[in-house]
Amino acid sequence: MQQNIVFSEKARELQAIAKEIADKYVRPNAAKYDKIQEYNFEAAQAVAKAGLFRTFIPKEYGGHGAGVLALALVAEELAKADSGFGVAFAVNALGSFPIILGGTEEQKKKFLPQIAAGDKFVAFCLSEKFAGSDASGLAVRAFDRGDHYEICGEKKWTTNGGVADIYSVFAVTDPTSKSRRISAFIVEKGTPGFEIKKVEDKMGIRCVPVVETHFDHVKVPKENLIGGRAGMGFKHAMMTLDFARPGVAAQAVGASQGAMDLANVYANRRQQFGVPISQHQMVQKMLADMSMKTEAARQLVYAAAAGIDDVGPSPANSKMAALAKCFATDVAMEVATDAVQVFGGYGFMEDYPIAKFFRDAKILQIYEGTNQIQRLVIARHMIREAGELDILQQYIPTETQEPYHQVEAAQA
């Protein structure tokens, strides 16, 4: 595990810019875009102009090369103001990581500078109607037609769909293979046969579109096969999720902080029994618990992100990403629930901003891998790690050995 979390000057600078944009363009319009379910282009343009889309793109392709920790700081600041806008930003990293981690030099040179400049937005098309948690059970097919691939089928829950210009799409190229079934492709908006069909009507994060993407015999040039090798798609998807989960976890930390700050201000203003409710111990307990959990989540998220920046893809970082995603998003749901409780009856009404924090929080526990899947990933790593803890075998008697305390006593 990463011991020292070091924030680069660049990361701190980007965090400060994100805070400014959040205060000026995101928070003041959060209720409006939630209500009308439209994308906040004004804020996205401000993000692009300020160079924040460069955060996660390597320097050689026009980015800041500031890494996953800087991405987390930016996502956190934006999500503090509006969790939906936080993901509208972070999903560009999710969609870009397959190219960054697995793309050919030509693909990186062609697509990453446009993403870095904020000229093109990105989306990630993995999930399908019948393949959510079981990400290897995809049905969308990509047929090798000699000089191109032809993609057929439907994807579900594509965040940023319609707004995005570049889509990382995962499809089956070899249905007979177990481990090399899936390949990843870059599909550009406007490619004939590629259409946005259903725009979902959502409980939360309503300012960012989540859509169905349909592929009706979509011709994709061979040079858009990510990495230039078929069969690498599942690995690319898993590595991408390891890199992106600290970003969604940071979004959760921002959402927790945003909800807690509102509850704190309200608790100090709202009077009951002749004093602000923050003077009542039961409210104080809620505020203290919110603060404790949010700070614990923040430290875990920063450690997970710093670990990735430090050594790149590794089993330890995969586990940390799952720990951070699971913990921080569970915390966000708990904090949002308690924050509504602090607001009491007013919290249940849409007249106050806290109800939106509650609605926005739920998806955090679901997307980028449900928290059940995160626990599965964590447990699988733990089971592997048990093999490295052999030294402890001697302290755990088998069913037929002397009890542990008797061995201890005999040795004394």
**Which residues are annotated as catalytic?**
368
Cα–Cα dist 46/27, whole Å: 13
Q: Are 92 and 99 in contact (CB under 8 A)?
A: no
Min dist CB 264 to ligand CAA, Å, is 29
3-state secondary structure of 128: strand
Residue 219 or 235 with smaller CB distance to ligand CAA = 235
CB of 404 to ligand CAA, least distance (A): 35
* In the complex, minimum distance from the CB of residue 76 to ligand CAA, in angstroms, rounded to a whole number: 16
The string over 357-370, giving b where at least 16 C-beta atoms fall within 10 Å of a residue's C-beta and e elsewhere, is bbbbbbbbbebbbb
- The values of phi and psi at residue 7, to 5°, are -95, 120
Helices (H) and strands (E) in the chain, counts: 12, 9
Alpha carbon distance 322, 241 (integer Å): 9
Nearer to ligand CAA, 94 or 140 (CB): 94
CB of 237 to ligand CAA, least distance (A): 8
**Bridge partner residues of 199 (DSSP):** 211
Residue 2 makes CB contacts below 8 A (sequence gap 6+) with 303, 304, 306, 307, 310, 320
**Identity of the residue, 211 or 342, whose beta carbon is nearer to ligand CAA in the bound complex:** 211
H or E segment at 87? Answer: helix 83-102
CB of 7 to ligand CAA, least distance (A): 25
Q: What is the 3-state secondary structure of 197-255?
A: EEECCCCCCCCCCEEEEEEEEEEEEHHHEHHHCCCCHHHHHHHHHHHHHHHHHHHHHHH
Cβ closer to ligand CAA: 49 or 198?
198
Distance in Å, CB of 240 to ligand CAA, minimum: 9
Of 98, 90, 100, residue with least CA distance to 63: 100
Residue (126 or 267) nearer to ligand CAA, CB: 126
Secondary structure (3-state) at 273: coil
Q: Which of 119, 134 has the CB closer to ligand CAA?
A: 134
141: alpha, beta or left, given left = phi > 0 and alpha = psi -120 to 50? beta
Query: Among residues 318, 206, 295, 302, which one has the least CA distance to residue 250?
Result: 302
Indicate the DSSP class of residue 131: B
Residues forming the site for ligand CAA (CB under 6 A):
87, 91, 94, 124, 126-127, 133-136, 157, 159, 179, 234-235, 238-239, 241-242, 318, 367-369, 373, 376-377
Task: Between 164 and 239, name the residue whose CB sits nearer to ligand CAA.
Answer: 239
Least separation in angstroms between CB 180 and ligand CAA: 8
Q: How far are the Cα atoms of 43, 54, 70, 115, 250 from residue 62, in angstroms, in the given order?
A: 21, 7, 16, 9, 24
